Amino acid sequence: MNLFARRWNKLKNRHNQQVVLFHKLEHLRDRLIVEGDDAVAEVLTLWPHADRQQLRSLIRNAKKEKEGNKPPKSARQIFQYLRELAENEG
């Protein structure tokens, strides 16, 4: 396999890993909004340094936005926070 092919495969693998992580974080975000404290406990198990109060506040706001048919600003913030936690773990 030539150098270009190896680099291309490495880029594809990295991209695929990012896509998988993206979907896992989306799923976790959705669970946080639906399940609340049970899912928060899971996040704290994965990332003990996560801010419980910040998560609970974002979840509460996301639920209000969903009920009021408003743009999902807080849901996006939850996803961003989860992504930061995942990126900072390594």
Residue 6 CA to residue 14 CA, distance in Å, equals 12
Average pLDDT over residues 63-81: 97
Note whether 55 and 63 are within 8 A (CB).
no
What are the domain boundaries of the chain? Answer: 3-88
Q: Which of 63, 13, 7, 55 is nearest to 33 (CA)?
A: 63
Note whether 34 and 59 are within 8 A (CB).
no
Across the chain, what does the average pLDDT equal?
92
**Distances from the Cα of 63 to the Cα of 13, 27, 42, 80, angstroms:** 35, 16, 19, 17
pTM: 0.84
pLDDT digits (tens, 9 = 90+) for 3-55: 878 888 887 888 788 889 999 999 999 999 999 999 999 999 999 999 999 99
What dotted CATH number matches 3-88? 1.10.60.30
